[in-house]
């Protein structure tokens, strides 16, 4: 439970991507805080994590502008001729078989939603867009000092003033969505750019836990790597703290737990929470990872099934510096990370076990 004051008057909020990992938690927290929450999703999406009877559902086709405009007009009529007070756009693709699918979902889907809200005269008081630190790519990969046992941090953090240079299709698609949003006039938005988000219901970091439970931990690259994380409930906290913050209007922010870790810290914590099984730690060179990712991507295209490793994943795993500056979020809307990595990993493993994932 987050340390956020409940609302004394009912406000409406639409959360797109509500059936997903982060979206479902945004919905649950909105209900707890006293919002009238609308879960925006495809008609075929699972409602497994959306069982609260107070949730209202909005079927949205973000791939079809005409259909989306028609749907929004219908929901506007149901709400007495007005729109939602807030819209949190959490819908998006993090894995795709073909690179163009990232742009179809993340870029075009965002553009269609913004245009449809304008067309229906449903521009909210605040539109929060969940983007990603990945839009910056490897912009600060050059060491600024030599690492020592007492001073292991050798890179400087990514700053909001840095020029984005995404090196993945996912990052480029999110950046293009941001650029379209930032080009809007009289459209009140805030952009949140979390680093690696983990927690219950998330599957990518779960694969690491599953691998460690099977006695293998795989890492790549021999240069020092500095990694950042953010527990999903701290992302949810940021969403609700920025909704009415005047200083956050029209701005973008990084989100992390405020700490920096070496490449082994996450896997070591997983191993500890799993009862310290014996683990074979394998570290491979980057050229080996590139070959494996290339082969995996070719197999995916031949079989039509997505694999965990591909060209995008190579760039993500090979990047050495994931530090980012969260001070602007602290200053402008009181963002205060509540979940340490130790606590978050413990809760994630507990959930994996209770739900039969491990």
| Alpha-carbon distances, residue 220 vs 87, 135, 287, 329, 342 (angstroms) | 39, 22, 9, 32, 23
The per-residue pLDDT for 225 is 87
- The structure tokens listed for 149 are 């046992």
pLDDT digits (tens, 9 = 90+) for 59-69: 999 999 999 99
Alpha-carbon gap, residue 100 to 282, rounded angstroms: 33
pLDDT digits (tens, 9 = 90+) for 267-310: 999 999 999 899 998 888 888 888 888 888 888 878 877 777 77
The per-residue pLDDT for 150 is 67
What percent of the chain stands above pLDDT 70?
96
| Alpha-carbon distances, residue 167 vs 6, 16, 134, 139 (angstroms) | 40, 26, 8, 10
40 with 109: CB under 8 angstroms? no
Question: Confidence class of residue 237 from pLDDT cuts 50, 70 and 90?
Answer: very high
DSSP result, 175-204:
HHHHHHHHT-SS--EEEEEESEEESTT-SH
Alpha-carbon gap, residue 321 to 330, rounded angstroms: 22
What value does the CA radius of gyration of the chain take, rounded to a whole number of Å?
20
The per-residue pLDDT for 151 is 67
Is 266's pLDDT higher than 70?
A: yes
pLDDT digits (tens, 9 = 90+) for 15-25: 999 999 999 99
Alpha-carbon gap, residue 311 to 314, rounded angstroms: 5
What pairs with residue 13 in β-bridges? Answer: 37, 86
Q: Give me the residue label for tokens 């502008």.
A: 65
pLDDT digits (tens, 9 = 90+) for 77-109: 999 999 999 999 999 988 888 889 889 999 999
The per-residue pLDDT for 152 is 62
The per-residue pLDDT for 15 is 98
The per-residue pLDDT for 310 is 79
The per-residue pLDDT for 1 is 60
Residue 255, helix vs strand vs coil: strand
pLDDT digits (tens, 9 = 90+) for 93-152: 888 888 898 899 999 999 999 999 999 999 999 999 999 999 999 999 988 877 676 666
């Amino acid at each position: 439970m987050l340390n956020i004051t409940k609302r004394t008057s009912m406000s409406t909020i639409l959360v797109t991507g509500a059936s997903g990992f982060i979206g479902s938690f945004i919905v649950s927290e909105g209900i707890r805080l006293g919002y009238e929450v609308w879960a925006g999703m495809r008609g075929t999406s699972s409602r497994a994590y959306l069982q609260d009877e107070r949730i209202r559902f909005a079927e949205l086709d973000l791939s079809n502008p005409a259909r989306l405009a028609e749907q929004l007009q219908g929901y506007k009529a149901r709400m007495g001729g007005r729109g939602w007070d807030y819209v949190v756009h959490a819908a998006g693709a993090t894995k795709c078989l073909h690179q163009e699918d990232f742009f179809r979902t993340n870029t075009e889907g965002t553009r269609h939603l913004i245009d449809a809200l304008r067309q229906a005269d449903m521009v909210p008081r605040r539109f929060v867009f969940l983007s990603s630190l990945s839009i910056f790519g490897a912009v600060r990969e050059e060491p600024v000092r030599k690492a020592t046992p007492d001073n292991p941090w050798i890179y400087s953090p990514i700053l909001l003033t840095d020029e984005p240079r995404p090196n993945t299709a996912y990052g480029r698609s999110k950046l293009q969505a941001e650029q379209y949003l930032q080009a809007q006039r009289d459209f009140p938005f805030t952009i949140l750019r979390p680093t690696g988000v983990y927690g219950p219901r998330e599957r990518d970091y779960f694969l690491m836990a599953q691998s460690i439970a099977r006695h293998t931990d795989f890492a790549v690259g021999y240069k020092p790597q500095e990694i950042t994380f953010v527990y999903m409930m701290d992302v949810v906290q940021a969403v609700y703290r920025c909704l009415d913050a005047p200083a956050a209007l029209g701005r973008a922010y990084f989100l992390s737990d405020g700490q920096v870790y070496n490449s082994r810290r996450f896997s070591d914590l997983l191993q500890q929470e799993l009862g310290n099984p014996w683990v074979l730690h394998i570290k491979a060179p980057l050229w080996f990872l590139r070959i494996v990712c290339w082969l995996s991507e070719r197999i995916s295209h031949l079989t039509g099934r997505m694999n965990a490793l591909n060209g995008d994943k190579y760039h993500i795993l090979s990047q050495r510096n994931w530090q980012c500056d969260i001070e602007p979020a602290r200053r402008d809307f009181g963002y205060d990370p509540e979940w340490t990595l130790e606590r978050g990993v413990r809760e994630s493993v507990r959930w994996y076990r209770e739900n039969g994932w491990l």
